Structure 1
Amino acid sequence: MKAKVFKYKSDGNTVVASYMELEPYAKNVYLSLSRKNEDGNEDDDCFHVVCRIENVYFSSGQYSRRFLKGEDCREEAATYCRNWIADTLQSAERGAFVNLISVRVFEALGLDTTSLVQAREEYKRIQEQKRREQKEKEAEERRVQEEQHQWLLNEQKRKFLDGERITGEMFLEITGRDGFDIHIRTKGTFNRHVRGIDRNGTVSFRKIKGCRTPDFTGCHKAVSAYLAFITEKEGK
């Protein structure tokens, strides 16, 4: 048999009423093939489970043939359909999410949709509030992390200026934050080879057996130029 059935479009948000071929499954419940399994395994074919209330038909979801063969599935589907109106109203009353298809079915049945629409709006309001709170929480966490990171950079810069050794990676972060430009090849040397460096240009690095010692001339020049840069900057 064919009947016009309320269902969602592929976007999952738009309700449409389309004619579908139906086969009986349980009392007031029908199946309509939604998608055949690409490998030809019929147990994995997918079906709309369609409820009928009075003369209104609507899809309550999509399930595989394997699932629908399960014990007690037919009776559970019939019970779901039989209690659907009462259960939907109870869901709205306790503030649970009410989907759009439920509103459309109530309208088609001539039932009052006020409680359903209000429940949907309240649910959306609460979810939006939770999203805002989550965004604010994440923004605060990022602010704290950035504050802690800046404190770390300040501490490392202080140590460097006091003559202590810092990592090459940290030196690049500090100079980058201060707006001091380092040649890209020198940055590569810092990243690949420099384990530690101090304000005198003393470099510690890991010697790799069979490889020549890297040329740290650019690193030494970068340290000297950076010290001159911040001296000039702070003197202004």
Structure 2
Amino acid sequence: MKAKVLKYKFDGNTIVAPYMELEPYAENVFISLARKNEYGNESEDSFHIICKIGDVHFSCGQYSRRILDKEGHREEAATYCKNWIENTLKDVEDGKIIPLLSVHVFNALGLDSTPLVQAREEYAKKQEEKRLERKRKEELERKEKETRWQQLLDENKRKFLDGEKITAEMFLEITGRDGFDIHIRTKGTFNRHVTAIDRNGTVSFRKYKGRRTPDFTGCHKAVADYLAFLAGNEIRK
């Protein structure tokens, strides 16, 4: 038999009512082929489950033939359809998400869908509030993380200016934050070879067997120029 069936379009948001070929499955329950298994395995063919209430048919999901043939599944489907209206109204009371399809089914049955629409609006409002709260928390965490990072840079800058060694990574981060430009080749030397450096230009570095000691002239110059840069900024203040 063929009947008009309320169902979601492929986009999952639009309700359509195409005519579908229905096969009896249980009391007031039908199935309709949704998709053949690409490997020809009929037990894995996918079917729409169609509930019939009054003269209204609507899809309640998709299952494989293997699932549909399981013992007790027909009785379960019949009970689901029989209690569908009652359970939908219970979901409204419990504040659960109400599918758009349910609103269309209520309208098609001539039932008052206002509680369902209101429940959807309330659920959407709560979800938006949760989204905004997550966004606020994420922003707060980002700011706290940034504050901790800036404090770490401040601490390492103080150590550097006090004559202690800091990592090359920290030196590059600090100079970058202060707006002091270091030549890209010198940055490469810092990243590849230097493990630590102090304000005197004393370098701790990685020594690779069979390779010559790198030239740290650019690193020494970067340190000296950075200190001069800071001194110049202090004078201008």
TM-score of the two chains, using structure 2 as the length reference: 0.97
Separation in structure 2 between the aligned mates of residue 223 and residue 194 of structure 1, nearest angstrom: 13
Encode CA deviations 1:69-90: one digit per residue, 9 max, x unaligned: 2221111111000000000011
Say whether the 8 Å CA contact 1:93–1:115 is kept in structure 2: no
Amino acid aligned to 1:88: T
Separation in structure 2 between the aligned mates of residue 23 and residue 110 of structure 1, nearest angstrom: 26
| 1:98 counterpart SS class | coil
Which residue matches 2:184?
A: 184
Which residue matches 2:84?
A: 84
Say whether the 8 Å CA contact 1:2–1:19 is kept in structure 2: yes
Ranges in structure 1 where 5+ consecutive residues have no aligned partner: none
Separation in structure 1 between the aligned mates of residue 45 and residue 228 of structure 2, nearest angstrom: 73
Separation in structure 2 between the aligned mates of residue 220 and residue 69 of structure 1, nearest angstrom: 78
2:23 is the alignment partner of 1:23: yes
Which residue matches 2:74?
A: 74
The 10-residue stretch of structure 1 (36-45 or 69-78) with the greater mean CA deviation from structure 2: 36-45
TM-fit CA distance, 1:55: 0.9
Separation in structure 2 between the aligned mates of residue 226 and residue 65 of structure 1, nearest angstrom: 73
Which residue matches 1:49?
A: 49
Consecutive aligned runs of 4 or more in structure 1 exceeding 3 Å deviation:
none
Q: What is the root-mean-square deviation of aligned Cα atoms in Å?
A: 1.0
The 10-residue stretch of structure 1 (63-72 or 91-100) with the greater mean CA deviation from structure 2: 63-72
Separation in structure 1 between the aligned mates of residue 166 and residue 229 of structure 2, nearest angstrom: 19
| 2:4 counterpart SS class | strand
Separation in structure 1 between the aligned mates of residue 214 and residue 21 of structure 2, nearest angstrom: 75
- When the two structures are aligned, how many residues end up with a matched partner? 236
Which residue matches 1:111?
A: 111
Ranges in structure 2 where 5+ consecutive residues have no aligned partner: none
Which residue matches 1:8?
A: 8
| 1:33 counterpart SS class | strand
TM-score of the two chains, using structure 1 as the length reference: 0.97
Separation in structure 2 between the aligned mates of residue 154 and residue 26 of structure 1, nearest angstrom: 73
Q: Percent identity?
A: 69
Encode CA deviations 1:173-227: one digit per residue, 9 max, x unaligned: 1111111111112112111211101111111112111222222221111111111
| 1:146 counterpart SS class | helix
Separation in structure 1 between the aligned mates of residue 36 and residue 182 of structure 2, nearest angstrom: 61
